[in-house]
Structures are given as structure tokens and as C-alpha cells.
Amino acid sequence: MKNICLYFELHQPIRLRRYRFFDIGNDHYYYDDYANESNINRLAHTCYLPTNKILLDLIKKNKGKFSVAFSISGILLDQLKIYAPEVIDSFKALADTKQVEFIAETSSHSLASLRNADEFKRQIAEQIKNIEETFGQIPTVFRNTELIYSDWIGEQVAQMGFKGMLAEGAKQTLGWKSANYMYCNITEPRLKVMLRNYHLSDDIALRFSNQSWPSWPLTADKFKSWLDGLQDSEEIINLFMNYETFGANHSADCGILDFLKALPETIINDKQYAFITPSKAVSKIQPVSAIQVPDATSWGDEERDVTAWLGNEMQNEAVDTLYKLTSLIGKCTDTAILKDWQYLQSSDHFYYMATKFFANGGNKAYQNPYQTPYDAFINYMNVLTDFSQRLKQSVPDTDNEEVTELKELVKKQQAELSSLEKQLVKAGVEPATKAQKKTTAKKTTATKKATAEKKTATKTAEKTATKNTKKATK
């Protein structure tokens, strides 16, 4: 039997307003509230609500035979709570069916896994708590921002107790192998790795409404025929895509929502297929081998690497400058600053700075609020400069803290020495410090006596020499 794992990613950044150099130090609010509210309301009505209704109807109709998985970033959850709480309610209704799984990711949809391990783990822990409080589930499977994966990242995820992780079925990872099997991390074999079939996933996510695509129009029957063409031994087909595929990236007019209604039932009607969630797949299917991924991969673009976010000097400077503040963040208790820290880490800010997309007309250009990558960089760095100043002002002077700690340590040691000396006196033992003082005093007395004797001898010799000189003169 072939297993179909259908997973959707949900994330929207909090967009920054136009923040100029002269705003630094004068205005500490960074966000374009109008743009953010408009964007969330648009997505709620074109994608989230209608697509959730379709999935809920499919789950109820097929009675345990249809299941899906989601990950929702903490940043998007914050915006939904403010602008469209009805969307969260619709996801709760899906969670109540027990056929929908919510998996973990970084709360900020950040690049922390590539820059700071402690911040990476902190965000995962925060997101686990968020999912549990909102949907009543504790995730056992993890997906990283933009499906970024490497051997080291997988090792960190395994050490946090996760049983499985999603990753891109990139050519540089698989070589001649197929993505349609279960794999495991090479250093932590207990972590199972589910690889995205990007050919089939992108046929829906990227190419569905493209009328110049040779396979257009895509129907449920045509898609199932492609599934039928896979080898019988292939155990799992992972269809991972952005949730905005349905109704936003591809409008309802092109038939994408009708396709979603038809596809699950077309597959379910063939008994050789079954839908499965990531946690059930991880517990049921054994890995065929380990995969070796020394360099990070992603689902970002054709290269399937991380150059969409770290491909030029601007991007690297912005990311490095941001994560240099991590040690100060650990000492900060200002809730407003900590919330800004979360929002400024979103990977989208660095994606907007990518020059390779700008050169060829841009990928996801409709989501980019900047005219050029350079505008994105300047705007972000202005915001980051102001944020850095606020952070440093909010954290106590580190040097003064260290001096105070050293003084307290010296006082403590002096008190301990004094206490030990008193105990030695009671025991009839002369403390070393007092014995040293007596020895020093004796040495000083002897030295003074020797010096005085030397002076007396010198004076006597001088007198004798004077008398002898006078006699010789006479």
C-alpha cells in the first residue's frame, strides 16, 4: 500500500513600514499595520476559511480515511488572533476531528538554525507551547523554516526529542535515490526524515494555473495517474506545499479549490492508497537508509539550498548583525523589545534582499513590498539600528555587573578566611597568616640591628682614618 502524506505550511511575516534614517532614535514602531491587516483579511477570505471548510467536509464525509497536517508559524498566529480570530476557530474545528496534525516549527519562521543553536531551540520550545495551548496537541514531528535541513540541524532536532523531521527531496541529497521512502538522520538514526516529492508537489503548488505548462489543465484523475506510475515498492509520497496555493497563489477561478475537493476522494477510492499524517508515518514506516546532508538544503528555489536568504553580502550582513544581539536578548526583560526580536527574525526580511530573483524578474514578486533588494536592505538595517540601540539601553551595563560580582566574590572569600582563622585559634593552631606576620617582624628586627651595626663600624673606620691622616701631616 502507498501512503500519501499531505502537509501544508502557513506563515505570513509582519511587514515593516517605510523606516527612514531620521526615524532612528525617534520612532520605535516598525510595522505597517494597514498592510498587515489587509493581507491577513485577504488570505482569510480567499484561502484559509474556504479551504478549511473543504478539508473539514472531506474529513467528515470520508470517516477516518482522509487526514492532513499543518504547521503555522507563531508570527501568523499572532496576526490571526488580532485580525481574523475566526480562522483560528476553523483550525480548532479541524483539530477536533483527530484527523489533522499540527507539527512544530520555529515560532519566528527564522534562520536561527543556521546562526544560533540556543535561539533555534528556544523558538521551537516556544512554538510547541503555542500549539499545545491553541490546538491541544504536542508535536512529535518538526519542520524547519523553508524546509531547511542538514545533518547537524537534524541532530539538534533529534536531541530535542522529536521522532521525525520533514525535508526537501533535493537532487544533491538523493542522487539516484527516490524521495518516496522513509530515511533517517546519519548521526541520529532515531530521527526519521520524510522527503518532499518536489515534482508532484510543485505540479500543484507552482504550475497548476500555468496555461503554458504542457500538462495544463491538471485534473484529479490526471494527478492520480502519475501516482499510479510510481514503483510498487515506493512506500510514501510526501506532498508538501504552501497553504496559500489554494485560493491565493492560484485563485479559485482557475479551479484549484475544485481540484482539492476531487483529489482526496479520487485517491481514497483506490484501495492501494491511504492518507497518513507525519507522526503516524514515522511510527509505521521504517527507514531504508540514512541520508547525508552536510550542506543545508531547502525548498526555496531551483538550487534547493539557502542562497535565497544568504546568497549575497547584504543578506549575510543583515543576518549576522541581527544574531550578534542574541547574548543581550538573553538579559532583556522588556516584553516589547522581545516581541520585536521575534518579528525581526522572520526569514522573509532576508528573502526580500535576494538579488538573484530580482535579476530574473523575481520569484514571489507579488509578496515583496520593496522595489529593489537594496531598498529592502536599507529599510531593514535602519530598523535594526534603532532596535539595537533600544536593546542596549534596556540591558544593565554588563561591565558594571561584572565588577559588582567580583567585589561580592572577594568579600565572600575574605569572610570565609576570617571564619577559618577563628576555627584554627579555637583548635590551638596558630593561623598561617599570624605566623607569617611574626616571622616577618623577626626578620625586620634582625635587619634593622645588622644595619645599625654596619653604620657604627663605618663611623669608627672613618674616625680612625682621620686621626692617621692628621699624624702623617705633622
For residue 395, give Cα distances in angstroms to 69, 112, 338, 405: 41, 22, 12, 16
Other beta carbons within 10 angstroms of residue 255's beta carbon come to 16
Q: Is-catalytic flag, 146?
A: yes
Distance CA 386, CA 321 (A): 13
Assigned C-alpha cell, 385: 539600528
| Grid cell in block for residue 145 | 523554516
* CA dist., res. 466 & res. 461, Å (int): 9
Cα angle value 173/174/177 (rounded, 5°) = 170
What's the Cα-to-Cα distance from 249 to each of 53, 245, 360, 366, rounded to whole Å? Answer: 18, 5, 20, 9
Q: Which of 9, 146, 168, 244 is catalytic?
A: 146
Local structure of 352: helix, strand or coil: coil
- Which of 33, 39, 137 is closest to 91 using CA atoms? 137
Query: Among all chains, which residue has been given the C-alpha cell 523589545?
Result: 337
- Beta-carbon contacts of 424 under 8 Å, excluding residues fewer than 6 positions away, are 430, 431
C-alpha dihedral over 243, 247, 248, 250, to 10 degrees?
A: 100
Let me know the angle formed at the C-alpha of 97 by 262 and 202, rounded to the nearest 5 degrees: 40
Please identify every residue annotated as catalytic: 146
